[in-house]
Amino acid sequence: MSILKYLSARRSQLCAARNYLKVLGLSSLHTAPNSSVELHTQDEEVVIALGSNVGDRLQNFKEALKLMRKSGINITRHASLYETAPAYVTDQPRFLNSAVRAVTKLGPHELLSALKRIEKDMGRTDGIRYGPRPMDLDILFYGKFKVRSDILTVPHERIWERPFVMAPLMDLLGTAVDNDTVASWHSFSGHSGGLNALWEKLGGESLIGEEGMTRVMPVANGLLDWSQRTLVMGVLNLTPDSFSDGGNFRSVESAVSQARLMISEGADIIDIGAQSTRPMASRISVEEELGRLIPVLEAVMSIPEAEGKLISVDTFYSEVASEAVRRGAHLINDVSAGKLDSNMFKVMADLDVPYVAMHMRGDPCTMQNNENLKYDNVCKDISSELYAQVKEAEMSGIPAWRIIMDPGIGFSKKTEDNLEVLAGIPDIRAEFSKRSLAISHAPILIGPSRKRFLGEICSRTSAVERDPATIAAVTACVLGGANIVRVHNVKDNLDAIKICDAIRRQKCCPVKFGQ
């Protein structure tokens, strides 16, 4: 159900509910910090904004989230991460801003006290209002209640004028209202169209990249703005049995040579895989995968050409992911989105690197069986199943600002399904947006390179003969809004991507960067 339809259907019920709460004295609940009604026995859903512009901002965010969980604030959803220009007091460093949805049994003033303790523990002093701070935590919403007291006002009184607050807040919602509490937040905006109408009035998505506000992803001790151009991920397989280049790069010397070639041709990311995930591939052990991977990873990390490039490791084992990051890998690419290792999300939550979650049913041995190839609606089903994994990842502590989505071309999909994905990237984003706008804004990675379905369409039995077909597939997905493409042939695909990027910069293209 759309927000407008939902609000229309619920308006009379919400009005009645507000009147009932006023009779009980609940619309201005907790008028005194020591009120006895602070004793809560049920969870309330809350929204808390975070901001930092002093010290290591990313570490400040990590520490604040950890302390919030320890304080009885159970985080369920994360917004995107924004770097923003300072407001009000402009002579200070740029901020990182975001927000979280959470549930807590703490009363409003208890929650406020917990957040103030966290700010103090992280080194915040009184200072000047709107001035620099290691961490700023504000309660934007508390359940269905409005709170008024000498020290606390909820909803936060300045939400509506601040794009750097509204953007993360909107990320925590979906275009479909998922419960009555969220419906009440829309009603608090005072706009008939809810928070969405208010956000659009401020400027909405047109503000991102403007007004000093950029959506970013932390990676390799920096902040990646993936809205500027399409990134190219070059494939480096160390396996003897990969479908395209199995056995070509098993020695350290040949693997490093291939990495150098791809970097010289313009690759932004080198994706190193030591375990084949082609259909019917046999699974190797953690030890064998590490034995193949680590010598090459360390060698590639050490070459001068790799400076400024990102190194990704393609693995579904949490132990491999952990060791790879310890050795310097910048991101983890998991074809199973956590399904093949129950410990993956917990490990990734502690690793602080981007995580590629790919859609696949079953495992490489079962993904192409009849049951796993059944879809009612390809794009809807992929979005629903992949979002379920991402939601679990968030609950495990992986924030949305570290997640990259991959619909999994060639995995658990027939030729016509793969074509649906290539044409349906905007539809996939739209399905994500119903559940979480933050996830709908996440970078989308597409990997059609030399896949079997291209050979079936073009009658090319040899994988290395499928580069022209790959370029066509890459062109389609970039024009559809893909942010990262994973390819074997970097040089020729990069030329196609540059043309697509130029088209997307034109006003005539319906899909812009970052969408």
Residue 371 in tokens: 């049951």
Which of 77, 451, 452, 504 is labelled catalytic? 451
DSSP, res 189: T
Q: Is the separation of the CB atoms in 75 and 166 below 8 Å?
A: no
Residue 261 burial by CB count (10 A; 0-12/13-18/19+): exposed, middle or buried?
Answer: middle
Check if 451 is active-site: yes
By three-state DSSP, how is residue 182 classified?
A: helix
> Which residues is 97 bridged to in the sheet?
51, 82
Asked if omega into 426 is within 30° of 0 (cis), the reply is: no
CB atoms within 10 A of CB 491: 16
End-to-end CA distance of the chain: 22
Q: Residue 393, Cα to own-chain centre: how many angstroms?
A: 10
Cβ neighbours of residue 437 closer than 8 Å, sequence gap 6 or more: 170, 171, 172, 173, 174, 175
Calpha distance 327→193 (Å, rounded): 50
Which of 10, 57, 146, 486 is labelled catalytic? 486
Q: Within 13 Å, how many C-alpha atoms sit on residue 184's CB side? A: 24
Check if 327 is active-site: no
Just list the catalytic residues: 451, 486
